[in-house]
Chain A
Amino acid sequence: MNSSTPSSSAAGAGSADSTAPRRNSKRPKYSRFTQQELPACKPILTPKWVIGTFLLVSVIFIPIGVVSLFASRDVVEIVDRYETDCIPEALRNDKVGFIQSDRSKTCQRTLRVPKDMKQPIYVYYQLDNFYQNHRRYVKSRSDQQLRNNGSLQDTGPCKPEDNVAGGPIVPCGLIAWSLFNDTYGFTRNNQQLNVSKRGISWKSDREHKFGKNVFPRNFQNGTLKGGATLDPDVALSDQEDLIVWMRTAALPTFRKLYGKIEVDLQRDEIINVTLQNNYNTYSFSGKKKLVLSTTSWLGGKNDFVGIAYLTVGGLCFFLALVFLLIYLIKPRQLGDPSYLSWNRNPSGH
């Protein structure tokens, strides 16, 4: 009764017919591709697969979560917020005035090491509420000028920080102009802790984006100083602080690498920090923090990855159990065509 057999077996017979004497047939040439009969895998969600998948995910995710969490817990981090504390109390009602004045900006901070920290210990400065990812800010740089000595005049995108009376500003643009200029000095037991500032920027930036023969010129020469000044005798590719700063951050809260401390710190040691609180974050209620952190194979201190893995793994395990229970308690004879709605009412409609 099945009238599909003529057409489907005709398709099958076509290939066998190739050696038989040619009939005057209009049937198109058979190929698996054009007849949509490629060998295929048809995955469907059977209980076995569902429970298996969820179990597999939980089996993979829970160990990874545990390992990640441990890695994150191993990282020792000291965070010190200093922008309010470093203004003398008397002057705290006019922070902007203070920062713009000529007063001494030196500030002494004390850090306590909570656990043993193995070198290298990374020193970061963290800024909050600073939108380095604002479109006009990101645009305000001239890659040509940074790279080539011959393109010093190429200051188009940098307006308004492009030229002064003496000529083009090198490096031009708002990003360079707002270079962070707080400095930190560390002592432990009255001994200076050396902060290495070599190799803190990306190698590709140093070698390919900033020129070896481009020197700062007319920098911070205008009426408004936005941040640090640059040594005009040092080529841009060696100005690591600038390079680090010009690699714009993704989010309004960010850290940038300041340097590395290459000695171990013991638990409960006291580190004295002499910092110059130069940078004006007060105009936009930004926060400044000093961060000392070790790293693990996974990076810095963030429990999110570990916790998320554990959560997802746990959730999948729970779901696997739930489905297993459901299938044990109420097994449904799957694939029974009598469950089809039209077979349930044989009178049709």
Chain B
Amino acid sequence: MYERTQSHISLRELDHESHQKIDRPYELLHVLEFSSSRRRMSVIVRNVENQLLLLSKGSDSVMLERLSKNSQDFVAVTMDHVKDALIEAAADEIERDLILLGATAVEDKLQIGVPECIEKLENAGIKIWVITGDKMETAINIGYACSLLREDMEQIVITLDSPEIIELEKKGDKEAVAKASRESVANQIRRGTLLLSSYEGRSVSPALIIDGKSLSFVLSQNLEGSFLHLAVSCASVICCRSTPKQKALVTRLVKKGTGRTTLAIGDGANDVGMLQEADIGVGISGVEGMQAAMSSDFAIAQFRFLERLLLVHGHWCYRRISMMVCYFFYKNIAFGFTLFWFEAYASFSGQPAYNDWYMSCYNVFFTSLPVIALGVFDQDVSPRLCLMNPELYKEGIQDILFSWPRILGWILNGIICSVVVFFFTTSSAVHQAFRGDGRVVDFEVLGVYMYSCVVWTVNCQMAISINYFTWMQHLVIWGSIAFWYAFLLIYGAFPPLFSTTAYQVFVEACGPSPFFWLGTMLVVVSCLLPYLLYRTVQTEFFPMPHDSIQKWQRETSDGRRGKLREKDTLLCK
């Protein structure tokens, strides 16, 4: 074909009679377009002799069906021409005597911020392992790229690519191969362990690299213990050529073997097993689809967000939860023990010191919101400083904020508070009058007096324990206290058949009595004094990491009168 226009196709054909090349135009009448369901296309043309021709082409299976019965002669020969071997032979002939132009390479780019993130996480005391399906060279390169492996790090490589194993594989004896492989892997682990012991005391431990085949022998042939022992002592571990199943198995091995908390992060469908197996699974949503994100506990958009997730939110979350649990123990003990001490003075008959409604509403209205505000909003250190000091994260790893001494300390604080509340209130309101009009303290008044002291004390304790006061904290803490008085007023206004001992007790008896207010102030301050003293001594002479950082934060932004505004810190950075 040498020319094609909208309406004509011109062909240079070999004429059978004259054996010469002649040019013939064909008028293009119609094109039957290609479709994937028909798997063919056709054109209808009119030749010079005014004949109408239909020319059709398509895949061999489709065309053969459409042949008329009397043209089967050429079928066999044509089918022969389509065979693979012939095509390969033809290709082989064509692809010869080439000229070298150059070399290309594909860089599988790391996301932005990954090396910095990994370095920060290592500083935070987190051990990082890479489990990938790529081959060893790729995995090692990635290790160097994201600063998991460093130039001065020795590498312990466990692989089954040695010549002896390959020889055995060629022979095909499965049992011998398995036996030799196991031997080889065990030997390599032993050698690695020996190398490690010569590293005692030095700062940079070696890195361990193991491939998928060896890993399968480790996991199935009882070599887990020695492998884990070796791996945990190395600075980092890279498992290459791992199957998704092995990813999950390695995660489980580490989780069960070391008893530490494991976090798995991945972005592909092949990471799902690992994400589910780890204590925390973080899925990166994006390029490889949503599979990983959907089966994870946390989904983030880029790897570098992990840094913020762990160092800022992880740190805050740990502090908040441990503080919240300790405080819960404290406030309920402070409340419950006053009832217990009262029983000693009521001949242990089971008479509660307070009206039923006071007690029911304690954990619901008067002391619940401040704890929630603590658990959701408290920040001990600003996010910027959390990221700048990854070592703060070690507080969580070493579990220093929720250790037994701390829990018992809070419980003791609760007991001391209850003792102070009860004995101060009863010693101050023994049997003498508590007002200028000669009235004495009765059961109802003592109940309100003690209960007010408890509510004030636990809320003020919250106020001096938290590190971060926004309008929300002010609202819930002072609001809870105010709500107690409002509740007394409202409940006391109900008819006495409903409100029994609380009927007008605040309005009539307690409110106008200066003794009541002075006594409350005395009791609250006395309860909080021991804790304040302890905190002062602890922050000054035995500071914990976050205390020092808080002070440093305050010092470097001095000039603002005592108040640190979060937004200003961010802007001036």
Which residues of A are at the interface with B, using a C-beta cutoff of 8 A? 1-8, 12, 26, 32, 36-47, 50, 53, 57, 61, 64, 68, 75, 77, 120, 122, 124, 126, 131-136, 138, 143-144, 147, 202-204, 208-209, 247-257, 260, 293, 295-302, 304-305, 308-309, 312, 315-316, 319, 323, 332, 334-337, 339-342, 347-349
Which residues of B are at the interface with A, using a C-beta cutoff of 8 A? 112-113, 116-117, 120, 123, 203, 301, 304-305, 307-308, 345-347, 349-351, 377, 379, 383-384, 387-389, 391, 424, 426-447, 467-472, 495-497, 500, 503-504, 508-509, 513-515, 518-519, 522, 525-526, 529, 532-533, 535-536, 539-540, 543, 545, 547-556, 563-567, 570-571, 573
Q: Are B503 and A209 in contact (CB under 8 A)?
A: yes
Beyond the given pairs A3-B387, A204-B496, A208-B503, 16 more chain A to chain B contacts, judged by CB atoms under 8 angstroms and listed by A's residue number, are A40-B470, A42-B469, A45-B535, A50-B536, A53-B532, A68-B518, A124-B440, A135-B349, A247-B442, A250-B441, A252-B347, A293-B433, A297-B514, A304-B427, A335-B548, A347-B203
Q: Are B508 and A202 in contact (CB under 8 A)?
A: yes
Chain B residues, Cβ within 8 Å of A339: 543, 548
How far apart sit A136 and B424, CA to CA, in the bound complex (Å)? 27
**7 pairs from A and B in contact (CB 8 Å cutoff):** A144-B497, A208-B496, A255-B432, A293-B438, A297-B514, A299-B434, A308-B428
How far apart sit A133 and B471, CA to CA, in the bound complex (Å)? 43
Q: Are A122 and B526 in contact (CB under 8 A)?
A: no
How far apart sit A251 and B445, CA to CA, in the bound complex (Å)? 12
Instruction: Give the contacting residue for A6; candidates B113, B203, B428; CB below 8 A.
Output: B113
Instruction: Give the contacting residue for B554; candidates A38, A44, A75, A298; CB below 8 A.
Output: A44
Known: A3-B116, A40-B470, A138-B443. A315 touches B529 (CB 8 A): yes
Instruction: Give the contacting residue for B351; candidates A120, A134, A301, A312; CB below 8 A.
Output: A134
Q: Are B432 and A256 in contact (CB under 8 A)?
A: no
How far apart sit A247 and B503, CA to CA, in the bound complex (Å)? 12
Q: Which residue of B lies closest to A129 (CB)?
A: B347
Shortest beta-carbon distance from B330 to chain A in Å = 19
How far apart sit A323 and B518, CA to CA, in the bound complex (Å)? 27
Known: A41-B563, A44-B467. A250 touches B446 (CB 8 A): yes
Instruction: Give the contacting residue for B444; candidates A2, A247, A251, A309; CB below 8 A.
Output: A247
Interface centre among A5, A38, A42, A126, by most chain B C-beta atoms within 10 angstroms, is A42
Chain A residues, Cβ within 8 Å of B389: 340
How far apart sit A122 and B433, CA to CA, in the bound complex (Å)? 9
Shortest beta-carbon distance from B267 to chain A in Å = 16
Known: A305-B515, A335-B548. A43 touches B469 (CB 8 A): yes
Q: Are A251 and B431 in contact (CB under 8 A)?
A: yes
How far apart sit A225 and B97, CA to CA, in the bound complex (Å)? 131
Known: A37-B566, A39-B566. A253 touches B349 (CB 8 A): no
Chain B residues, Cβ within 8 Å of A260: 438
How far apart sit A120 and B442, CA to CA, in the bound complex (Å)? 21
How far apart sit A257 and B428, CA to CA, in the bound complex (Å)? 19
Shortest beta-carbon distance from B395 to chain A in Å = 11
Chain A residues, Cβ within 8 Å of B391: 340, 342
Q: At the interface, is chain A mostly helix, strand, loop or mixed? A: mixed
Q: Are B442 and A257 in contact (CB under 8 A)?
A: no
Q: Are A44 and B551 in contact (CB under 8 A)?
A: yes
Chain A residues, Cβ within 8 Å of B508: 202-204
Q: Which residue of B lies closest to A255 (CB)?
A: B431
Chain B residues, Cβ within 8 Å of A147: 496-497
Shortest beta-carbon distance from B8 to chain A in Å = 48
Which 8 A-B pairs give the minimum distances between C-beta atoms?
A300-B432, A335-B555, A335-B551, A135-B351, A300-B433, A250-B446, A122-B438, A335-B552
Q: Which residue of B lies closest to A144 (CB)?
A: B497
Chain B residues, Cβ within 8 Å of A349: 203
How far apart sit A205 and B58, CA to CA, in the bound complex (Å)? 106
Q: Which residue of A lies closest to B565 (CB)?
A: A39
Q: Are B503 and A134 in contact (CB under 8 A)?
A: no
Q: At the interface, is chain B mostly helix, strand, loop or mixed? A: helix
Shortest beta-carbon distance from B467 to chain A in Å = 6
Q: Which residue of B lies closest to A11 (CB)?
A: B570
Q: Are A312 and B526 in contact (CB under 8 A)?
A: yes
Shortest beta-carbon distance from A16 to chain B in Å = 12
Q: Are B203 and A254 in contact (CB under 8 A)?
A: no
How far apart sit A38 and B377, CA to CA, in the bound complex (Å)? 10
Q: Are B435 and A295 in contact (CB under 8 A)?
A: yes
How far apart sit A1 and B117, CA to CA, in the bound complex (Å)? 11
Chain B residues, Cβ within 8 Å of A136: 349
How far apart sit A32 and B567, CA to CA, in the bound complex (Å)? 9
Q: Which residue of A lies closest to B535 (CB)?
A: A45
Chain A residues, Cβ within 8 Å of B518: 64, 68, 298, 305, 309
Q: Are A251 and B515 in contact (CB under 8 A)?
A: no
Chain B residues, Cβ within 8 Å of A61: 522, 525
Q: Are B346 and A134 in contact (CB under 8 A)?
A: yes
Known: A4-B308, A133-B351. A38 touches B472 (CB 8 A): yes
Chain B residues, Cβ within 8 Å of A41: 468-470, 563-564
Shortest beta-carbon distance from A175 to chain B in Å = 11
Chain A residues, Cβ within 8 Å of B504: 204, 208
Chain A residues, Cβ within 8 Å of B429: 250, 302
Q: Are B346 and A40 in contact (CB under 8 A)?
A: no
Chain A residues, Cβ within 8 Å of B113: 3, 6
How far apart sit A43 and B556, CA to CA, in the bound complex (Å)? 15
Chain A residues, Cβ within 8 Å of B383: 4, 8
Known: A249-B443, A297-B514, A305-B515. A208 touches B522 (CB 8 A): no
Known: A40-B470, A131-B347, A147-B497. A334 touches B432 (CB 8 A): no
Chain A residues, Cβ within 8 Å of B433: 122, 293, 295, 299-300
Q: Which residue of B lies closest to A1 (CB)?
A: B116
Known: A42-B550, A298-B515, A319-B533. A143 touches B351 (CB 8 A): no
How far apart sit A269 and B123, CA to CA, in the bound complex (Å)? 85
Q: Which residue of B lies closest to A201 (CB)?
A: B439
Chain B residues, Cβ within 8 Å of A342: 391, 545
How far apart sit A154 and B209, CA to CA, in the bound complex (Å)? 86
Shortest beta-carbon distance from A111 to chain B in Å = 18
Q: Which residue of A lies closest to B544 (CB)?
A: A341
Shortest beta-carbon distance from A274 to chain B in Å = 22
Instruction: Give the contacting residue for B387; candidates A4, A50, A133, A304; CB below 8 A.
Output: A4
Interface centre among A37, A131, A257, by most chain B C-beta atoms within 10 angstroms, is A37
Chain B residues, Cβ within 8 Å of A251: 345, 426, 430-431, 446
Shortest beta-carbon distance from B552 to chain A in Å = 4
Chain A residues, Cβ within 8 Å of B564: 40-42
How far apart sit A37 and B496, CA to CA, in the bound complex (Å)? 48
Shortest beta-carbon distance from A283 to chain B in Å = 15
Chain A residues, Cβ within 8 Å of B438: 120, 122, 257, 260, 293, 295, 300
Known: A143-B500, A341-B545. A254 touches B440 (CB 8 A): yes
Shortest beta-carbon distance from A344 to chain B in Å = 11
Q: Are A340 and B548 in contact (CB under 8 A)?
A: yes
